[in-house]
Amino acid sequence: MVAVGVVLAALCSVVVVGVAQVRVSDAASAGARLAARGEGSEAVRSAAARLGGAGAAVSVRPGGGLTEVRVTRTVPLLLPGRPTVRVGSRALAVAEERSPP
């Protein structure tokens, strides 16, 4: 019976990690879109951190006409000993040209 519990916890952990990976990926993409529209690094960082979930770390690196947004997060697994897995994603965006009003 203990083995069934461990297998169930492992399956739940896979789902938790998968959801966290999707969140950080979406957060990096949203941050890159904001950067492409000309939002400042702090606004990009704040939005990506909010979307990435609890404990998300965000880095914004502009340069060479591109902005790179990286979002990482440590996810605790639902297994004995509470091991963790680090998930992360990055997105690049080219700055959009703004037309004068």
Residues 6+ apart with CB under 8 A from 23: 51, 52, 53, 56, 73
31 within 8 A of 71, measured Cβ to Cβ:
yes
Report pLDDT for 80: 86
Asked if residue 99 has pLDDT above 90, the reply is no
Instruction: Give tens-digit pLDDT for 7-24.
Output: 999 999 999 999 999 999
Report pLDDT for 97: 79
Tokens of 16: 């938790």
Instruction: Give tens-digit pLDDT for 27-42.
Output: 999 999 999 999 999 9
Asked if residue 101 has pLDDT above 80, the reply is no
Q: Using a cut of 0.85, tell me whether the model's pTM lies above it.
A: yes
